[in-house]
Amino acid sequence: MEELGAIKKLNFNVCMQCGKCTGSCPVFPKSKLNPRRLMLETAYLISPLTMHPPLNIYEKSEIWDCTTCSTCSYRCPREVEPMDVIIGLRGLLLEQGRVPSTLGDALEGVYKYGNPWGISRSKRSDWAQDLKVKYVSEGEKAELLYFVGCAAAYDSRAQEVARALVKNLNTLGIDFSILGNKETCCGNEVYSLGEKGLFEILVEKNLSLLDQYGINRILTTSPHCFNAFKNKYGKDLAVQHYTQYFADLIDKGKLKFPQRVEKVVTYQDPCFLGKHNDIYDEPRKIIESIPGIKLVELNLSRGRSVCCEGGGGRMWYDIPGERGRLAETRVKEAIDVGADILAVACPFCLLTFDDAVKTTGNEDKIQVMDIMELVAEALLSSNEQVI
């Protein structure tokens, strides 16, 4: 019960059971997941008192339903951080091997192959084969490291984002390199799933890679990788999400768009960029700088944005529910505000929304695009593709 010790260190005993967490939890309406109740139960778990009826925390499989969107922690008036308690509880269940099999497979995939899909390492940089990139792993030095991340490295739809990002950097003449097949999972989802031991291994591996290749600055596709490097590695790493990096270029006058994109665009704040890291303005700055684009806000945006249900391991664990997926509701909202394009800045949002557009039959009404793809469209005309 080492995990219990970790939970004890959390601040949940000041919880006053106000229920803001449960009230704001996006998953609660479709799942048994009830953060307020879990805070109470955790208090019993570490106290000598027993609950009536007795509590069996290991039976609470809804602990795996959490997307770690952090809305509960964000809204808590007493800084209890229910999300961290849930992650701690996951660790407790994991110790007993009580984890849904698809999540177990994802974790094993990370351990054995360096990615949650368990795809061969030798295929990690296939997406970049025909692109101009430097491989730091082959001694090609560059000032900036582009950390691709598992989704953008392996998922065919998300690969398009990595490709767009590389083309954009090349168009702007920015010197960068990638780790190629040496790259390994950042561990953000591993951490969120409570697999601390595996997360420690990944931290060690990645830090030694950065050290080995003398890397000083990191750019990520995914807010999840960004979050891991920035907040979970216990080191002051110079890491930026690409939205920060490109917003910076705009500020410095280094990024101007020759093409117009005549579209109404709305934007989904990714949890790991927004609520977790307070990055709300940079993505909007990029979108608004593209000539022709009209940015409309979703009814719930910025800190109140609703999770796509792709975080916290939920990419590998689907919970059925009569209410459907949150991404489906979100796509309908985007159509309601009159958007032609639902812009995202996270590969998980991209994948869950892409699916949701299809499952709700809205392919002809709205399109999901990553901000990097919008930038690529505004930077290049179709007949002058830079690779």
Partner 1 sequence: MKELFVLAEHRQGELRDVTFEMLTKGMELSQKTNADLTAVLLGHNVQEFAKKLANHAKKVLIIDDARLENFNAEAYQRVLFHLISERKPSLTLVGHTAFGVDLAPSLATELNLPLATDCIDLKFEGEKLVVIRQVYGGKVNVKASLRKSDSYILTLRPATFEAQETKPQGGKIVKIASPLSEDITYKRFIEYFQPPAGEVDIATADIIVAIGRGIKDTENMLVVEKLAEALGGVLACSRPIVDKGWLPNDRQVGTSGKIVKPKLYIAIGISGQFQHISGMKNSDLIIAINKDSKAPIFRTADYGVVEDLFKVVPSLTDKILEEKH
Partner 2 sequence: MNVIVCVKHVPETAEAEIAIHESRKRIKTEDLVFDINEWDDYAVEEAVLLKEKLGGSVTAITVGSEDADSTLRKCLARGADKAVRLTDKAFEGSDSYAIAKILYKIIKDLPFDLILTGAQAGDDGCAQVGVVLAELLGIPHVTMVKKVESVEGHVKVNRELEGGLEEIVEAKLPVLLAVQTGINEPRYISIMGIRKAMKKEMKVLGLKDVGLTEEEVGESGSWITVEKMFIPPVEKEAEILTGGVDEIATKIVETLRAKGLI
Give the binding site for partner 2 (CB under 8 A): 2, 94-99, 101, 103-104, 107-108, 111-113, 118-122, 195-198, 200-201
Binder of residue 317, out of partner 2, partner 1, none (CB less than 5 to 8 A by kind)? partner 1
156 is an interface residue for partner 1 by CB under 8 A: yes
DSSP label at residue 263: -
105 is an interface residue for partner 1 by CB under 8 A: yes
Binder of residue 318, out of partner 1, partner 2, none (CB less than 5 to 8 A by kind)? partner 1
Single out the residue of 112, 254, 358, 381 in contact with partner 1 (rule: CB under 8 A).
358
Binder of residue 107, out of partner 2, partner 1, none (CB less than 5 to 8 A by kind)? partner 2
Binder of residue 383, out of partner 1, partner 2, none (CB less than 5 to 8 A by kind)? none
Binder of residue 316, out of partner 1, partner 2, none (CB less than 5 to 8 A by kind)? partner 1
Q: What are phi and psi of 254, to 5 degrees?
A: -90, -10
Kindly state the smallest distance separating residue 104's Cβ from partner 2, in Å. Answer: 4
Query: Do 93 and 99 meet the contact criterion of CB atoms below 8 Å apart?
Result: yes
What's the rounded Cα separation, in Å, for the pair 364 and 356?
13
Residue 56 corresponds to which tokens in the numbers above?
Answer: 């069996």
CA-based torsion, 80, 84, 89, 91: positive or negative: negative
The smaller minimum CB distance to partner 2, of residues 103 and 161, is found at 103
Cα–Cα separations (whole angstroms), residue 94 to 87, 91, 98: 10, 5, 5
What's the rounded Cα separation, in Å, for the pair 271 and 268?
9
Kindly state the smallest distance separating residue 95's Cβ from partner 2, in Å. Answer: 6
Footprint on residues 282-321 left by partner 1 (CB under 8 A): 316-318
CA-based torsion, 24, 27, 31, 32: positive or negative: negative
CA-based torsion, 131, 174, 178, 197: positive or negative: negative
Q: Does residue 53 have a cis peptide bond before it, meaning omega lies within 30 degrees of 0?
A: yes
Binder of residue 122, out of partner 1, partner 2, none (CB less than 5 to 8 A by kind)? partner 2
Kindly state the smallest distance separating residue 226's Cβ from partner 1, in Å. Answer: 25
Residue 30 corresponds to which tokens in the numbers above?
Answer: 């479709």
Stretch binding partner 1 (CB under 8 A), from 11-19, 99-107, 250-258, 333-341:
99-107
Bridge partners for 295 per DSSP: 265
Stretch binding partner 1 (CB under 8 A), from 85-93, 98-106, 167-175, 280-288:
98-106
The smaller minimum CB distance to partner 1, of residues 81 and 355, is found at 355
Count of residues that interact with partner 1, criterion CB under 8 A: 12
Kindly state the smallest distance separating residue 336's Cβ from partner 1, in Å. Answer: 25
Bridge partners for 265 per DSSP: 295, 341
DSSP label at residue 230: I
Binder of residue 141, out of partner 1, partner 2, none (CB less than 5 to 8 A by kind)? none
- Residue 207's H or E segment, with its range, is helix 196-212
10 Å Cβ neighbour count for 344? Answer: 27
Kindly state the smallest distance separating residue 67's Cβ from partner 1, in Å. Answer: 14
What's the rounded Cα separation, in Å, for the pair 159 and 136?
20
Binder of residue 197, out of partner 1, partner 2, none (CB less than 5 to 8 A by kind)? partner 2
Residues found near partner 1 in the complex (CB under 8 A): 101-102, 105, 117-118, 155-156, 316-318, 355, 358
